[in-house]
């Protein structure tokens, strides 16, 4: 869904604004935040719902590593956790963004004849991947706090379409 599309202007934006303002009147601001996370996931999954699992898996992996970084005291363990996070994030990015290019070049230069179905590029994968990498690096350095899952999900998912 694009920001200038009819469905965004007529349906999505009024629902998001009305829900946000109505839920803000309740005593617990977490309801409004959870609503916006849900709206953001709908916004992201509108183009292709299967991409939603990529975002959610990435979010869960990085949140888990952030949690483990908070409990790990040794520098070696923290480096291993950061390395695992970087490897997971960059592996995800490589697979979806560069794997077709890599296989095509292997076929060209090595005459390998490897056939694969073209992998569709999820929207905004570079943005949310690098955003999460920067968060993990800041957690590793100790300059970022470990936030509740709702705050982290809001930070990563808020109306992603680019």
Task: Indicate whether 67 belongs to any domain.
Answer: yes
Q: Which of 29-38, 139-148, 152-161 has the lowest mean pLDDT?
A: 152-161
In this model, does residue 161 exceed pLDDT 50? no
The CA R_g of the chain, rounded to the nearest whole Å, is 19
* Residue 159 confidence (pLDDT): 62
- Distance of alpha carbon 87 from its chain centroid, rounded? 15
In this model, does residue 7 exceed pLDDT 60? yes
Dist CA 63 CA 136 (whole Å): 9
Task: Indicate whether 149 belongs to any domain.
Answer: yes
The per-residue b/e assignment along 78-101, b for 16 or more CB within 10 angstroms, e otherwise, is beebbeebeebbeebbeebeeebe
* pLDDT average, residue stretch 79-104: 92
Task: Indicate whether 35 belongs to any domain.
Answer: no
Task: Indicate whether 30 belongs to any domain.
Answer: no
Dist CA 162 CA 149 (whole Å): 23
* pLDDT average, residue stretch 104-129: 84
Average pLDDT, the chain: 89
Task: Indicate whether 151 belongs to any domain.
Answer: yes
| 160 band by pLDDT with thresholds 50, 70 and 90 | low
CA angle 75, 78, 84 (to 5 degrees): 140
| 23 band by pLDDT with thresholds 50, 70 and 90 | very high
* Residue 117 confidence (pLDDT): 77
Output the six-digit token pair for 135: 């968060």
Number of domains in the chain: 1
User: Higher-confidence residue: 4 or 12?
Assistant: 12
Structural domain including 149 reads 48-157
Task: Indicate whether 31 belongs to any domain.
Answer: no
In this model, does residue 2 exceed pLDDT 80? no
Task: Indicate whether 79 belongs to any domain.
Answer: yes
Task: Indicate whether 80 belongs to any domain.
Answer: yes
């Amino acid at each position: 869904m694009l920001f200038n599309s009819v469905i965004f202007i007529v349906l999505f934006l009024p629902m998001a604004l009305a829900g946000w303002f109505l839920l803000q009147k309740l005593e617990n601001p977490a309801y409004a935040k959870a609503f916006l996370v849900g709206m953001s996931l709908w916004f992201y999954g509108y183009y292709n719902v299967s991409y939603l699992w990529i975002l959610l898996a990435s979010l869960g992996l990085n949140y888990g590593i952030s949690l483990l970084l908070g409990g790990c005291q040794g520098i070696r363990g923290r480096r291993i956790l950061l390395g695992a996070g970087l490897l997971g994030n960059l592996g995800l990015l490589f697979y979806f963004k560069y794997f077709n290019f890599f296989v095509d070049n292997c076929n060209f230069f090595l005459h390998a004849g490897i056939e694969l179905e073209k992998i569709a590029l999820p929207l905004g994968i570079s943005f949310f991947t690098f955003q999460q990498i920067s968060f993990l690096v800041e957690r590793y350095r100790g300059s970022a706090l470990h936030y509740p899952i709702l705050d982290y999900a809001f930070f990563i998912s808020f109306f992603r379409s680019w």
